[in-house]
Amino acid sequence: MIQRNPILDFISHAILILGVVIVFFPIYVTFIGSTQTAEQILSSNPISLLPGSNIVESYRFALFGGKTEAGATVAPALPMMGISLASALIIAIGKIAISLLSAFAIVYFRFPFKNIVFWMIFVTLMLPVEVRIGPTYEVVSNLGLLNSMTGLTIPLVASATATFLFRQFFMTVPDELVEAARVDGAGPMRFFKDVLLPLSKTSMAALFVIQFIYGWNQYLWPLLVTTDESMYPIVMGIKRLIFGEVYIEWNVVMATAILAMLPPAVVVMLMQKWFVKGLVDTEK
Amino acid sequence: MASIQLKNIVKKYGKGKAELQVIHGVNADIAHGEFIVIVGPSGCGKSTLLRMVAGLEEISGGEIWIGDRVVNQLEPAERDIAMVFQNYALYPHMSVFDNMAYGLKIKKMPIAEIKQRVDKAAGILELGHLLDRKPRQLSGGQRQRVAMGRAIVRQPQVFLFDEPLSNLDAKLRAQTRLEIQKLHRELGITSLFVTHDQVEAMTLAQRMIVMNAGNMEQFGTPEEVYHTPASTFVASFIGSPPMNLMKNAPGGKPGTILGIRPEHLDVGSEGWEVKVETVELLGAERLIYGRVQGEQLIVRVEEGTHSPAPDAIIHVAPRTDRLHTFDAATGKRIAG
């Protein structure tokens, strides 16, 4: 909007503020809940929107677990966050590495059935994990990978979206650059390492953010392949806090939820600049 | 010593029925240290020919020799060539220094020697103060010089230029043309230079190859090409305005085409009767467009001598020693 008009300014700001409130309010409630005691949350209806004084206790319980005064056992969130972090990193980095290489092969090499290969990769876009979950589980369980980091991450690593994104990017790299590298004596992998990778940095950053959050937020797949508590990711941990126990420590649940939200938020904040660059402009 | 020999070079694309031949047997012997310009209209195969010498296009037939080696099967990097691309093809993420040094680093040359070579090339091209910049921080002319610097540091047997001046503005182009000439004089490296611009070709070339539709029409010095064009194509392509070519000129034999350059026609009291159509002033000279026996004729006169009005009848005498005769069927020059 190029017009400058106080009324329009007011309306647009009002809409933005409304949007922020809608998005932010549940997070605020979660945070406030995590600062109160379980009794406070249960006794006040609706929940008090003023911070309580139990913040240290709530987060200590959430992070390290233990027995509450009411006698409930809380599983510690810290190891679960470790599992989540490790699997999200493996998924994000694995996806980027594999997609870069497969896009490189598809764009720069001549091999038989190249188009068929590309279309096969492309078609897997229509088969997300949820659709192929039965057969994938069968494969992972036959390989004995249940309750392992490998089983938790590898089936999620292949990515048609990222391959496609890198393919599109590589196709915009001018042919003359490839030829200049050939004249300079750079072999294919050298060209990949010295020219393509540095040029793809911003796309890689954008993908990393998206895929890290994708990996962190996985729920259905871990639910199937993990039965051992030591392999539970944090997202499953929250779910477990709510069910199973008679008496729910809501303050701990809220604290765990906040903890689970933090790492993706940190990743987005740290990589925001790169993320936008990668989606908007290509540095050429 | 790096001479280049092209022996019956053929380029075909596609297979079977879709086969398309774009270069039809080019032969050329290029001596060590020569500056050769390949010139022709777009689509004539001149860039393809250069890219075959570079090793970026496969050679469908014939042999290319660089020095005493057949290079048909060699990778570009093994041919001991350096190429300057039309869009310069600088690596956008590398500094000017790294752009120039990249090829040498791959050859695993010692850092000290790389530095010395890059500094020397930067000195020649006046790039010394720009070595830390990225290509996008440079102007078009500077990028062009970096591209040349990248070629120079390799100290190759052969320089290949693929229309390197076409992205520069007219003034910079003229200046860079002089720089390239100077560079060639200093380094004495055999060079192949592709262009569609006949002025560039005439000014740079020691000898030039004129290409048309995948055929080499003529291979000779600029003087030879200008004064004794081998075909009507060369006659009309080289020289501005182009040579007058007339099928039924006064005194022409049937089955031949008579050619005369606009500057070799004298306006006077005798000669061909020309009906003037338009007159253009180009500063130092004037072009008179007219018709003789229905054929278009351009006459070039010095400014201030003649300025006939449209529809006037003037007399134009051709200098008989400057007349060219071509075969009407083949377009080839008839000796004499």
pLDDT digits (tens, 9 = 90+) for B71-84: 999 999 889 999 99
Q: Is the residue at A1 inside a domain?
A: no
Residues A35 and A110 reside in one and the same domain? no
Number of domains in chain B: 2
- Please, are residues B250 and B317 in contact by the beta-carbon 8 Å criterion? no
- Nearest Cα of chain B lies from the Cα of A190 at a distance, in angstroms, of 9
Chain B: residue whose CA lies nearest to A176: B89
CA distance A203 to B10: 42
Residue B318: pLDDT over 80? yes
pLDDT value at residue A52: 82
Q: In this complex, do A194 and B92 lie within 8 Å of one another by their Cβ atoms?
A: no
Q: Is B134 exposed, middle or buried (0-12, 13-18, 19+ CB in 10 A)?
A: middle
Q: Above pLDDT 90, what percent of chain A?
A: 45
Residue A109: pLDDT over 80? yes
CA distance B250 to B297: 12
Chain A: residue whose CA lies nearest to B56: A179
Q: Which residue range is the domain that position B250 belongs to?
A: 242-327
State the average pLDDT over residues B250-278. Answer: 86
Residues B201 and B311 reside in one and the same domain? no
- Considering only CB atoms, B82 lies closest to which of A176, A177, A183, namely A183
Select from A176, A177, A183 the residue whose CB has the most chain B CBs within 10 Å, as the one to mutate to test that interface: A183
Residue A259: pLDDT over 50? yes
Residues A25 and A85 reside in one and the same domain? no
Residues A124 and A248 reside in one and the same domain? no
State the average pLDDT over residues A83-96. Answer: 94
CA distance B294 to A6: 74
**CB of B86 less than 8 A from some CB of A:** yes
Domain boundary among B202, B233, B264: B233
Q: In this complex, do B89 and A186 lie within 8 Å of one another by their Cβ atoms?
A: no
Residue B312: pLDDT over 90? no
Q: In this complex, do A179 and B92 lie within 8 Å of one another by their Cβ atoms?
A: no
Residues B125 and B42 reside in one and the same domain? yes
Q: Which residue range is the domain that position A199 belongs to?
A: 80-233+273-280
Residue B50: pLDDT over 60? yes
Domain boundary among B179, B201, B233: B233
pLDDT value at residue B331: 87
Q: Above pLDDT 70, what percent of chain A?
A: 94
Chain B: residue whose CA lies nearest to A197: B93
Nearest by Cα to A94 from A220, A235, A261, A212: A212
CA distance B332 to B310: 34
What ipTM goes with this model? Answer: 0.83
DSSP track, B244-256: EEETT-TTPPTTE
